[in-house]
Structure 1
Amino acid sequence: MAEAGARPWARSDEKHEAIVRAAREVFLSNGYLGTNMDLIASRSGVSKQTVYTHFGNKEALFLEIVGSMTGDAGDLVHHDRAELGEDENLEAYLVAFA
């Protein structure tokens, strides 16, 4: 019986995150063509079937990774930047921002 208050999907969330972390590492080190689902499954500690259950195919998993990485970068550019002060040097600000 499940523990009181436990989320039944928590283990699935953990597997999903493990797959994403492993896939990011494998895609970055091996490239798209050099990556296969067997290696991702092995690195994430789940079965290949679990990887396919969560993502359907290699392309969907790759798109998830690229989307999350570009989303994180976009957040940094649009939301997590310091404001330019009135007395601040514009050139120095732009160099630091870049």
Structure 2
Amino acid sequence: MTTNEREMADLCRTRPGIFGGSSEVGIVVGLRKKMGHRVRVDTPALDRLPIPCLVAVRLNAFVDHTIVVREVRGGELVVMDPLYGVDTIRLANFARTWTGTAIWIE
């Protein structure tokens, strides 16, 4: 897939500004416009998380944040986070903040 950040922001209905961003619905809509029906969204059990996938984690009561889960390694997830780059998160911490939805491409 060839794209750029501007195109995906438009397709995903990304809102600008400090309280902006892309909703999970917007991400699915944008990816389906670009990729077709190969884009899947579901609420898998943590031990059945499709890899790689996009997930939303709750930063606080008002803000969710989307990251990419690249790998499950022992009791940790290796993630790509637009705020922090490649990072690891303990599964227990992830389970407390994960919204429960995963988005992936088949």
* Greater RCO (CA < 8 Å, at least 6 residues apart): 2
Question: Could you say which TM-score interval applies, normalised by the shorter chain?
Answer: under 0.3
TM-score by length of 1: 0.25
The structure whose residues are more often strand, as a share, is 2
Larger radius of gyration: 1
TM-score by length of 2: 0.24
